Amino acid sequence: MTMDPAHGTIGGEEPDVRDVQKNNFADVGGDAQPHQEPRRVNNDPRANKQKGNQPRRDRRDVHGWVVLDKPIGMTSTQAVAVLKRLFQAKRAGHAGTLDPLASGGLPIALGEATKTVPFVMDGRKRYRFTVCWGEERDTDDIEGRVTATSDQRPTREAIEALLPRFTGVIEQVPPRYSAIKVQGERAYDLARDGEIVELAPRPVQIHHLSLVDQPDKDRSTFEAECGKGTYVRALARDMGRILGTYGHICALRRTLVGPFGENDMIPLDQLEALCDRAASGEGSLADALMPVETALDDIPALAVTRADAARLHRGQAVLLRGRDAPNCSGTVYVTVAGRLLALAEVGNGEIIPKRVFNLTGLTANSGRNERN
């Protein structure tokens, strides 16, 4: 399989974005923009004939998270389009690009869940990845062009001795094929055009990095848990250089994104089967949804009365008074009668709504937010 290195590299972290403009929403205060499905041309005359006789299915309000176990070969944009079609959802977006050659957790927000995307993107990520030693490539992954080779291979002892240097807050130079902007241009566009791009190092945090397997002298498998902005490809590149050989990513799987782990992932074939059963009346698509507030696990919840909820729903602040006033400040998510109402800021004796949720439509079944 041959792929454009600007769109097919394994990066593993959302700053290496090939389609972030379409699906991710970095502005916490702005509304998430709906995903637009690409137009497809169908040259089958039977399909064209049917098209004139069959009305287009109406989109509907669907609210919640689906954590797709993305298969290798599918782009994040394609995954969002598939789920949007399966759920007939009006709005959808993902929380962090996962490149085509990577598999694993791709959290997809439907409907009002798109308002919580930034909270997932800012969370920790966990990856299991394999480094192939002896070659460095211009994209730092298997799809790139070989730029340097070495006959040297690192020992397990040498690798394990190196890992502490890549743990904690480190300075990392992003890959040349990344979405970092250089004088208004994406670095991967400049690199694809043959320009030499020098990117400045920047601090990233590696919470955990371990060697988990070394099946042969040419490959080593690692697990890493890292913060926002980390490039797994850059880890492979830099470890290879320090070890006196070269390295690039040849396999990558994401196992954690913010609050979503492997137990939350749904393979595409299982999701399609559930949709088929739901269409025949044997199940409900709500079984595949996780509640919108699952993305808000790391911030406190604040319950209010129905009277206060009515004010917040209109965008009005609510005063905190009496002995029962919450002793908290900062960002909270507000509930009324156990139902998500708004994201708000608490301070100076009042609750100020920032994002109000309208969860009319299909939502997760009760109890679906209990983790396995």
Per the rule left: phi > 0, alpha: psi between -120 and 50, beta: everything else, 168 is left
Query: Three-state SS for 240?
Result: helix
Q: Which of 99, 138, 238, 264 is catalytic?
A: 99
- State how beta strands 247-257 and 125-133 pair: antiparallel
DSSP characters over 88-132:
TBS-EEESS---TT-EEEEEEEEGGGGGGHHHHHTS-EEEEEEEE
* Residue 96 neighbours by CB distance under 10 Å: 27
- State how beta strands 247-257 and 103-110 pair: parallel
| Closest C-alpha among 208, 306, 211, 297 to residue 260 | 297
CA distances from residue 341 to 255, 333, 357 in whole angstroms, order as listed: 30, 8, 5
Cα gap 24→109, rounded to integer Å: 10
Read off the amino acid at residue 215: P
Read off the amino acid at residue 94: H
Cα gap 224→234, rounded to integer Å: 13
138 tagged catalytic: no
| Closest C-alpha among 75, 109, 74, 116 to residue 92 | 109
Show Cβ contacts of residue 115 under 8 Å, excluding neighbours closer than 6 positions: 31, 32, 292, 343, 355, 357
H helix count then E strand count, the chain: 10, 19
Query: Known catalytic residues?
Result: 99
